[in-house]
């Protein structure tokens, strides 16, 4: 098994628990974490023993979103234009890798899930959320678009009007609200979210595996048929919008406000 810096994998029979933890920074996604989680998802592709996978962050935060400080240095550190574009598309590939996994996948969300921390769970099959947790999509507030392929997934789950409200008004959404709108599938007591997610995963893993995988593939093929068409350039749009004056100004305010 590959050793990762920010990701651990624990196998419990036919169910795997994947946990990512940056040991601080509100568990924000830096490039290393994105690459590690992508590699994990791809390794499960040929795993015939594991039938369900739970993904979680920490009890304090599933994820505070993308690491804005690291993002601000991309143009300087990336090198060529092609390398910079490759960096912007890593989040897209991360979510696609998790969506394409043949196993049933369950996100266990504690604390906060912000921006990219919402985008990744949307690529999974089911989501379990702690009673005291919240979802927050602040991209428009800081002058950029929602990417990582998240927007079409969000529209599929909640419909166009609610997707617009979530993205444009940037309102924090509690667990009951998220459940009512269909963004999450279960609510659990804080501190017991992983347990509930493991129960769901175990129930799925107890079913005949070939049939489960076929149904998942069929549902995804139907529900996600137009997703790539509508979001194929969202990382390019993100790179473009990051250079807007409004985005630079609002992003600076957002970072300072989190300190």
Across the range 140-161, mean pLDDT stands at: 95
**Nearest by Cα to 28 from 152, 158, 118:** 118
Per-residue pLDDT, 78: 67
Cα separation of 82 and 247, whole Å? 22
| Total residue count of the chain as it appears in this document | 259
Q: Name the percent of the chain lying above pLDDT 70.
A: 95
Q: What is the mean pLDDT of residues 215-220?
A: 98
In angstroms, rounded to a whole number, what is the distance separating the alpha carbons of residues 253 and 62? 23
Residue 2 binned pLDDT confidence (cut-offs 50, 70, 90): confident
Average pLDDT over residues 133-159: 95
The predicted pLDDT at position 251 comes to 79
- 15-20 and 7-12 beta bridge pairing: antiparallel
Q: Which of 173, 57, 168 is nearest to 121 (CA)?
A: 57
Predicted structure pTM score: 0.94
Each residue's pLDDT tens digit, 35-49 = 999 999 999 999 999
How many Å from the N-terminal Cα to the C-terminal Cα in the chain?
37
pLDDT tens digit string along 95-119? 999 999 999 999 999 999 999 999 9
Structure confidence at residue 75 (pLDDT): 59
Parallel, antiparallel or unpaired: strands 173-174 and 134-136: antiparallel
Token couple for 212:
């489960």
For residue 17, the cross-strand partners are 10, 54
Ramachandran bin of 23, using left for φ above 0, alpha for ψ from -120 to 50, beta for the remaining angles: left
Average pLDDT over residues 174-198: 98
Spatial separation of the C-alpha atoms in residues 7 and 126, rounded to whole Å? 20
- The mean-pLDDT minimum among 64-73, 157-166, 200-209 falls in 64-73
Closest by CA position to 238, among listed 74, 37, 98: 74
Nearest residue to 118 (alpha-carbon basis) of 89, 91, 87: 91
Chain position carrying tokens 């959404």: 173
Q: How would you write the chain as a 3-class SS string?
A: CCCCCCEEEEEECCEEEEEECCCCHHHCECHHHHHHHHHHHHHHCCCCCCCEEEEECCCCEEECCECHHHHCCHHHHCCCHHHHHHHHCHHHHHHHHHHCCCCEEEEEECEEEECHHHHHHHCCCEEEEECCCEEECCCHHHCCCCCCCHHHHHHHHHCHHHHHHHHHHCCCEEHHHHHHHCCCCEEECCCCHHHHHHHHHHHHHCCCHHHHHHHHHHHHHHHCCCHHHHHCCHHHHHHHHHCCHHHHHHHHHHHHHHC
**pLDDT reading at 259 higher than 50:** no
Domains defined along the chain, listed by start:
7-197+204-258 (3.90.226.10)
């Amino acid at each position: 098994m590959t050793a990762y810096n920010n990701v651990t994998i624990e196998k419990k029979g036919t169910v795997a628990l994947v946990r990512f933890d940056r040991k601080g920074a509100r568990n924000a996604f830096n490039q290393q974490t994105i690459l590690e989680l992508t590699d994990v998802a791809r390794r499960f592709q040929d795993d015939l023993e594991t039938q369900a996978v739970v993904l979680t962050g920490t009890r304090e935060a599933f994820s505070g979103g993308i690491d804005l400080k690291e993002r601000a240095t991309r143009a300087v550190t990336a090198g060529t234009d092609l390398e910079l574009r490759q960096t912007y598309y890593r989040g897209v590939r991360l979510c696609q890798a998790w969506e394409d996994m043949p196993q049933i996948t369950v996100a266990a969300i504690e604390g906060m899930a912000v921006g990219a921390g919402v985008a990744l769970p949307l690529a999974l099959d089911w989501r379990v959320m702690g009673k005291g947790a919240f979802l927050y999509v602040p991209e428009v507030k800081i002058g950029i678009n929602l990417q990582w392929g998240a927007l079409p997934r969000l529209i599929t789950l909640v419909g166009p009007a609610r997707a617009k409200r979530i993205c444009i008004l940037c309102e924090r959404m509690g667990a009951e609200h998220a459940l009512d709108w269909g963004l999450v599938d279960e609510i659990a007591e804080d501190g017991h979210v992983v347990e509930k997610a493991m129960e769901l995963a175990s129930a799925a893993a107890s079913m005949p595996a070939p049939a489960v995988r076929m149904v998942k593939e069929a549902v995804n093929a139907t529900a996600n048929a137009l997703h790539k068409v509508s979001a194929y350039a969202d990382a390019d749009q993100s790179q473009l919008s990051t250079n807007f004056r409004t985005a630079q100004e609002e992003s600076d305010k957002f970072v300072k406000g989190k300190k």
